[in-house]
């Protein structure tokens, strides 16, 4: 137990989520009111900063696990007057988010995967749920803060657990599953009717060779 009068071993910032934590998060775009129809930026989702940079102001809410309901704020670059690098990083991040949210391998180049990486507008990103890798960065004042710069895709070994994790009570084991039995056929032809004795007349008996079958009075 820590000493009540010695705070050297106290955590410097208890609000920080450990670096490298994987968590399922939901993106909420905080609208900045900036539109540029020529770029396809409509709906007031984008924000234009004082330097001329344009970005999405992302609020990421942790959905499950020990850090549920915690919020992390990260900017997603769309344009920088200094060059294309920041916008390229933003595009890469958004690609990863779509891969993660829609269960697509980053290596999948099928027509279905390519279609899943397209959006009709920023509204398609608002509310997106995916697996994020939480990192540490610094704010404008030099203080350490949590950031999200990377989405975890199905190629990662822990993706399935993080994306669909459901807490189970300690010691829980799923019930045994019954052995498989093929389903009964939907249709069974009716059984043939039973043949009862006397249902049909017995065949006439043939006379023995050399005998006259007529009665004696008719011979």
Residue 169 lies in a domain: no
Average pLDDT over residues 41-48: 97
Q: Is the pLDDT of residue 217 over 70?
A: no
Q: Is the pLDDT of residue 57 over 90?
A: yes
> Higher-confidence residue: 69 or 197?
69
Cα–Cα dist 138/25, whole Å: 21
Phi-psi region of 171 (alpha: psi -120 to 50; beta: other; left: phi over 0): left
Burial of 32 (0-12, 13-18, 19+ CB in 10 A): middle
**How many distinct structural domains can be found in the chain?**
1
Residue 123 lies in a domain: yes
Cα–Cα dist 63/26, whole Å: 7
Residue 185 lies in a domain: no
From 92-96, 136-140, 188-192, the region with the lowest mean pLDDT: 188-192
Residue 53 lies in a domain: yes
What percent of the chain is predicted at pLDDT more than 70?
A: 73
Residue 16 lies in a domain: no
Q: Give residue-wise pLDDT tens across range 137-165.
A: 998 888 899 999 999 999 999 999 998 75
Distances (CA, A) of 77 to 31, 66, 106, 204: 14, 29, 20, 103
- Count of CB atoms within 10 A of residue 128's CB? 21
Cα–Cα dist 75/73, whole Å: 7
Nearest CA among 63, 62, 102, 55 for reference residue 79:
55
Residue 88 lies in a domain: yes
Residue 218 lies in a domain: no
Residue 14 lies in a domain: no
- Count of CB atoms within 10 A of residue 130's CB? 24
Task: State residue 197's pLDDT score.
Answer: 47
Structure tokens that stand for 51 in this block:
């330097």
**Which domain, by its residues, includes 127?**
22-164
């Amino acid at each position: 137990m820590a000493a009540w009068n010695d705070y050297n071993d106290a955590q410097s910032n208890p609000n920080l989520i450990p670096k490298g934590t994987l968590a399922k998060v939901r993106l909420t775009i905080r609208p900045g009111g900036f539109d540029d129809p020529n770029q396809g930026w409509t709906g007031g989702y984008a924000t234009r900063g004082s330097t001329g940079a344009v970005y999405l102001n992302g609020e990421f809410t942790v959905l499950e696990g020990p850090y549920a309901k915690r919020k992390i704020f990260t900017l997603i670059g769309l344009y920088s007057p200094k060059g294309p690098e920041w916008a390229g990083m933003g595009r890469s991040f958004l690609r990863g988010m779509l891969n993660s949210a829609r269960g697509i391998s980053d290596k999948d180049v099928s027509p279905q995967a390519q279609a899943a990486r397209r959006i009709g507008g920023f509204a398609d990103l608002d509310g997106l749920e995916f697996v994020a890798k939480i990192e540490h960065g610094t704010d404008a004042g030099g203080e350490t803060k949590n950031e999200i710069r990377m989405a975890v895709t199905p190629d990662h070994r822990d993706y399935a657990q993080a994306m669909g994790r459901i807490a189970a009570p300690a010691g829980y084991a799923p019930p045994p599953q019954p052995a498989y039995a093929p389903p009964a056929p939907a249709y069974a032809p009716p059984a043939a009717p039973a043949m009862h004795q006397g249902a049909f007349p017995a065949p006439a008996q043939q006379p023995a060779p050399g005998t006259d079958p007529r009665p004696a009075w008719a011979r």
